[in-house]
Amino acid sequence: MGSSGNEVEKMRHTLSHVLAAAVQELYPTAKFGIGPAIENGFYYDIDFGKVKVSEGDLAKIEKKMRGVIMRGCEMKRRVVSRGEAVEWAEEQDQKYKKELIHELQNDEEVSFYDLYDARTGEVLFTDLCKGPHVKNLEEIGAFQLSRLAGAYWRGDEKREMLTRIYGLAFATEEELEAYLVRQEEAKQRDHRKLGKELELYCFSDLVGAGLPMFTPRGTILRNMLADFANGYRERCGYRKVCIPHIANVELYKTSGHYQKFPELLKFISQESGDELALKPVNCPHHSQIFASVPRSYKELPVKYLETTMVYRDERKGELGGLSRVRAITQDDSHVFCTEDQVEQVFGELIESAKDLYQKVGMKLSLRLSFRDDSDGYIGDEKMWEKAQAAIERMARKFEMEYSIGLGEAAMYGPKMDFMAMDALGRQWQLATVQLDYAMPERFGLEYTDADGSKKTPIMIHCALLGAIERFMSIFIEHTAGWFPLWCAPEQVRILTVNDQVEGYVEEVEEVLRGVVLQEPVAENHLRFEKDLSDDSLGKKIKKATEMKIPVVLIVGPKDMEAREVSVRTRDGEEKVKLEDLSGWLIRQNGQ
RNA sequence: GCCGCCUUAGCUCAGUGGUAGAGCACUUCCAUGGUAAGGAAGGGGUCUCGGGUUCAAGUCCCGAAGGCGGCUCCA
């Protein structure tokens, strides 16, 4: 069994044909879509027609697959003319295959693969396919069918919904087992599990789906993270602003959101009959602060910053944990500047993003989100070309590796998006810096240039955390809930051994109250709690550990005697003199 | 929104047609205990909600809400 990536991929792809063969035998009327190899395995998209297939049927299909493999089958390539291929699809009544063959218009010949029994020569399954495959099915390693999902034919939600059967496949049983163990470990870090255990946020059916509420602990974490992200921009001259969470829909008719985005939440004023909307973005409001007085080129760039919620009527099936919500807190900033200030402003934000993510120990990948040919964008072609060229130039200037995501742009302009992965390997967009030549024009924003002429400013949108909810979801999983000292909701917990420590606990508390942790968020007084309950020490330690409190101070008669505290961190235990405690904690924060 | 699955005590879960259980948590009592669960007793459930089938429904059927895995979408 070859172990190279290529061999594994061949094996995975071959398995998708074995899956199809098994399905055809069990469900003769099944119509087949496509069945590629993917990371960790393979899938096949199948139309079962009226037959209902559910996860319970996977065992049966898997058993049949193993039966096919046991027969000693082989894969053999066969090239036929296009005409023959069409005939085959017609004969087999495979409409999806037929569609695929029709698209191979430039090819004179079409490649098929036969899965056949090497002893009898009987062909079990024939599929339109370019390969490559393992020749002999004995070369197939370890696999199992994992789950069942719906998937639109050709990824188009207007077309048929097929049933996708996913399988896992690895070269060896050990690798498969290791993968399953990794998945199990990842589930332990899932922010939805930890969010509940660490009492960070909750949902209520009465409040509604996708509307998280943050507990006191979660709110501390949120605020710390927001302050951290805002600090970068405040040091670059950004000034905080504050806007209402609703607006007359005229605002969004002007921006274009009203026409282009069905996620806009609208309602009617009982008083005036006006149609209002919950803000889905902040830029239109911020543009109106800019527009509130005449602007001179001398005051540019104008930099606004606000951490605030936006509201989007996301479709139900797209919601999930804190990753995708309907009330989204953005650490949003907008800059209004001249053409030749773009590079400077953009540069500051890129440097900030790089530094912030480096400090929290997260490695992000960069995606340049450009437009595609579809409609749904505002602004003319030339603006787009200019903006996209500028974004790419910037990525090169800062020597960042990037990929280009066509069709990922914002309505008003291209973006530089920083992507993170969650515990289960799914990609999410966090930080984003966006260049916008369109919105200022739509709002008629202007400033007076040196020569007295009116000019339209350029807008630069940025969120460093992206959405705080989503950032938290990734951050929780990344740290497994062991937050760094500076942002941990409860930084220190004092545990007592018994009640024979009269006066001493208060002395320890007094020391803690005097500790000021400076970095990375300034004026951060220490957050501590006491566990004076009559639980055993072991139980108190268990509770504090489960809550992932970074620093646990044990204060008992022996400590009182020695005028010290027993310190317990994730790294181990040590004794610290009371007089050294303050310095010890400040040093901990530096690590 | 679409496909599939799930929803039983605050939490994690058992209970596959005959009238509801465990562990943890909680309350009270005992225990004053030194580095991941000290002991005992007690309270707590319209089995998510609404219909239906049945002599009988947590259990079967239909619908809704919420959640999970995908698809699609994501300013």
Whether A77 is catalytic = no
CB hemisphere CA count around A91 (13 angstroms): 7
Q: Which of A17, A98, A133, A312 is catalytic?
A: A312
Q: Is A591 helix (H, G, I), strand (E, B) or coil?
A: coil
Residues of chain A with pLDDT under 50: 1-3
Give residue A12's pLDDT.
95
Please say whether the beta carbons of A325 and A469 come within 8 A: yes
**A13, A461, A493, A540: which is the annotated catalytic residue?**
A461
H helices present in A173-323, as ranges: 173-189, 191-197, 216-234, 249-255, 257-260, 283-290
Rg of the Cα trace of chain A?
A: 30
Q: Which two tokens stand for residue A547?
A: 């809550």
pTM of the model: 0.94
Residue of A73, A59, A44 whose CA lies nearest to A145: A59
Kindly state the DSSP code that residue A487 receives in the 8-state scheme.
T
* Domains with residue ranges and CATH for chain A: 5-172 (3.30.980.10), 193-243+289-479 (3.30.930.10), 492-590 (3.40.50.800)
| Cα–Cα nearest to A461, from A281, A334, A274, A585 | A334
DSSP letter string, A319-386: -BTTTB-SEEEEEEEEEEE-GGGHHHHHHHHHHHHHHHHHHTT---EEEEEE--SSS---S-HHHHHH
Nucleotide nearest the Cα atom of A562 (by C1'): B34
Q: How many CB atoms lie within 10 A of CB A123?
A: 14
* Catalytic residue status for A373: no
**Do residues A16 and A37 make contact, with C-beta atoms less than 8 angstroms apart?**
yes
Alpha-carbon distance of A26 to A64, in angstroms, equals 8
Is the link from the previous residue into A212 a cis peptide, with omega within 30 of 0?
A: no
Give the model's pLDDT for residue A566.
97
Of A332, A422, A436, A559, which is the active-site residue?
A: A332
- Residue A591: the pLDDT is 67
Q: Is A587 helix (H, G, I), strand (E, B) or coil?
A: helix
Which DSSP string corresponds to A61-104? Answer: HHHHHHHHHHT-EEEEEEEEEHHHHHHHHHHHT-HHHHHHHHH-
Q: What is the ipTM of this complex?
A: 0.94
Tens digits of residue pLDDT in A185-220: 999 999 999 999 999 999 998 899 999 999 999 999
Is residue A436 flagged as an active site residue? no
H helix runs in A209-306, sequence order? 216-234, 249-255, 257-260, 283-290
Could you confirm whether A312 is annotated as catalytic? yes
**CA at A149, C1' at B69: how many angstroms apart?**
7
Nucleotide nearest to A428 in CA–C1' terms: B74
CA of A211 to C1' of B26 (A): 28
Is A415 a catalytic site residue? Answer: yes
Catalytic residue among A31, A97, A286, A334: A334
- φ, ψ dihedrals at A482, nearest 5°: -90, 80
The answer to whether the beta carbons of residues A319 and A326 sit under 8 Å apart is yes
Considering the candidates A217, A415, A455, A478, report the single residue annotated as catalytic. A415
Q: How far is the CA of A586 from the C1' of B15 (A)?
A: 53
Cα–Cα distance between A300 and A29 in angstroms, integer?
67
- Shortest CA to C1' contact from A279: nucleotide: B75
Q: What is the structure's pLDDT at A121? A: 85
**Straight-line distance from CA A249 to C1' B59, in Å?**
51
3-class state of residue A52 by DSSP = coil
Strand B bases, protein C-beta under 7 A: 1-5, 11-12, 25, 30-38, 65-75
Tokens at residue A389, please? 């060229």
Give the residue carrying structure tokens 């600090």: A231
The pairing of strands A454-455 and A458-467 is unpaired
A380 is catalytic: no
CA distance A44 to A164: 6
The verdict on whether A233 is a catalytic residue reads no
The CB-side HSE value for A133 (13 A sphere, CA atoms) comes to: 30
**Which residues, at least 6 apart from A383, have a Cβ–Cβ distance to it below 8 Å?**
A413, A437, A438
